[in-house]
Amino acid sequence: MVLAELGGSISRALQQMSNATIIDEKVLNECLNEITRALLQADVHFKLVRDMTTNIKKIVNLDDLAAGHNKRRIIQQAVFNELCKILDPGKASFTPKKGKPSIVMFVGLQGSGKTTTCTKYAYYHQKKGWKPALVCADTFRAGAFDQLKQNATKAKIPFYGSYTESDPVKIAVDGVETFKKENCDLIIVDTSGRHKQEAALFEEMRQVAEATKPDLVIFVMDSSIGQAAFDQAQAFKQSVAVGAVIVTKMDGHAKGGGALSAVAATKSPVIFIGTGEHMDEFDVFDVKPFVSRLLGMGDWSGFMDKIHEVVPMDQQPELLQKLSEGHFTLRIMYEQFQNILKMGPIGQVFSMLPGFSAELMPKGRENESQAKIKRYMTMMDSMTNEELDTSNPKLMTDSRIMRIARGSGHQVHEVMDMMEEYKRLAKMWSKMKGLKIPKKGEMSAL
């Protein structure tokens, strides 16, 4: 994901600064120059970047910092806060409530990813216990109904549309009525797009909105337009009461930073980002956890959400307890591998933590990763309880490794590979030691 590059550059700049013996003005300036370069490359508006560095310099007055203060921490915190400021529109959006019918209308240009995003949004809420339904009021694009139908069927979400009716307002109204009767609590109306902003599109949007009275209008935009997102979001906001924005294709474009910051500048809350073509490549967008993750500091609230979603309820307290003790044994690794195999996307859980999944579960190579996990588990099946419960890798002497290889029908070097993987995870896990698991929305410890 391209944003990871931006995050990587910023955290490298911070890390380099941390490596310096003394942090003086020169070191601070070098660090800020690196960060400036990274943000400009991600197409963040020059003025925002300039304001950000000016503010950081104001906050971090090196001469004034009393001896004993942790300058690095103050600088990192200032960078974190300023990035949050750039991305925070200072406004929350309407959130649908379960059990009460909400109508959510999607608008956007053709090709922005609107139809795909409607299904992702429905699917996300379905997994969380809503009863969503999809209405295709896009009569402009040939094939729009078929596409929505196909996506909805795949996700087992009820849908409504017509091959013969050409009036989008009528379809929208009929669809909403149908699903209200069926007690759906999240009725999603997909509207027509156009290749560019034009009067006919805005007029149609206004009519559909007037007839269906949506609780929320979501504007979908493609991140590749970068800073131009500002004008596009403004234009849509002026025509219809846009209450939230979803920025798509954040997986493929270097301009993602520009799009996100430009949308924030229009004071529109971005609620989700699209990170791929698949149904579950869709992330909640919450500024603080997003910036935490961008800077490689881990996304605690996302992590907690995922833990609740995929780790069996009875295992959750124990896992969290072990996490805060920084105590990582081969048995914990085994149990988490079991979860990965059972739940499939648990790789996403650990991708919320810095450094965890990139190597173990590279995106797009899930099958290979699953085979590797199964191999590791067979080897662990040949371990004794003592071996599984220790967090001291020194216990694993050559003779033990040979025994495990023989017992599991694997090569010695494969067992050694597995131990390397364990050590890598244990090292990362140890960073969690003593951490208070923050409440939702709080930033992680720096």
Q: Which of 112, 232, 351, 408 binds ligand GDP (CB under 6 A)?
A: 112
Q: Which of 146, 165, 210, 277 binds ligand GDP (CB under 6 A)?
A: 277
338 binds ligand GDP (CB under 6 A): no
CA 30/CA 365 separation, integer angstroms: 37
168 binds ligand GDP (CB under 6 A): no
Q: Which of 275, 336, 351, 391 binds ligand GDP (CB under 6 A)?
A: 275
* Nearer of residues 101 and 168 to ligand GDP, judged by Cβ: 168
In 3-state terms, what secondary structure has residue 375? helix
116 binds ligand GDP (CB under 6 A): yes
HEC-encoded secondary structure of 31-47:
HHHHHHHHHHHCCCCHH
Q: Least CB distance from residue 239 to ligand GDP, whole Å? A: 17
Applying CB under 6 A, the span of 31-39, 49-57, 108-116, 299-307 interacting with ligand GDP comes to: 108-116
Backbone φ and ψ for 219, nearest 5 degrees, come out as: -95, 125
Q: Least CB distance from residue 78 to ligand GDP, whole Å? A: 32
Backbone φ and ψ for 103, nearest 5 degrees, come out as: -110, 125
DSSP code, position 393: G
Bridge-based pairing of strands 216-222 and 186-191 is unpaired
Supply the angle between the helices 25-41 and 46-59 in degrees, to the nearest 10.
Answer: 160
Q: Least CB distance from residue 350 to ligand GDP, whole Å? A: 22
Helix, strand, coil share of the chain (percent; to 5) = 55, 10, 35
Q: Least CB distance from residue 427 to ligand GDP, whole Å? A: 33
193 binds ligand GDP (CB under 6 A): yes
Give ∠ CA 5-121-217 in degrees, rounded to 5. Answer: 100
CA 45/CA 27 separation, integer angstroms: 24
User: In angstroms, how far is CA 262 from the centroid of its own chain?
Assistant: 19
CA 280/CA 277 separation, integer angstroms: 9
Applying CB under 6 A, the span of 33-41, 54-62, 106-114, 421-429 interacting with ligand GDP comes to: 106-114
Contacts of 61 (CB under 8 A, 6+ apart): none
* Nearer of residues 219 and 337 to ligand GDP, judged by Cβ: 219
Residue list 211-250, contact with ligand GDP (CB under 6 A) = 248-249
76 binds ligand GDP (CB under 6 A): no
Q: Least CB distance from residue 251 to ligand GDP, whole Å? A: 5
In 3-state terms, what secondary structure has residue 9? helix
Q: Least CB distance from residue 357 to ligand GDP, whole Å? A: 19
Residue 281 token pair: 């490549």
Pick the closest to residue 387 from 376, 377, 397 (CA basis). Answer: 397
DSSP per-residue codes, 286-307? -HHHHHHHHTTS--HHHHHHHH
256 binds ligand GDP (CB under 6 A): no
Applying CB under 6 A, the span of 34-42, 268-276, 410-418, 438-446 interacting with ligand GDP comes to: 268-276
115 binds ligand GDP (CB under 6 A): yes
Total residues at interface with ligand GDP (CB under 6 A): 17
Applying CB under 6 A, the span of 28-36, 110-118, 328-336, 371-379 interacting with ligand GDP comes to: 110-118
The residue of the chain with the least Cβ separation from ligand GDP equals: 274
CA 330/CA 421 separation, integer angstroms: 10
191 binds ligand GDP (CB under 6 A): no
161 binds ligand GDP (CB under 6 A): no
Residue labelled with tokens 């995050």 = 7
* Nearer of residues 11 and 275 to ligand GDP, judged by Cβ: 275
Q: Which of 252, 296, 326, 355 binds ligand GDP (CB under 6 A)?
A: 252
Rule CB under 6 A: which residues touch ligand GDP? 108, 110-116, 193, 248-249, 251-252, 274-277
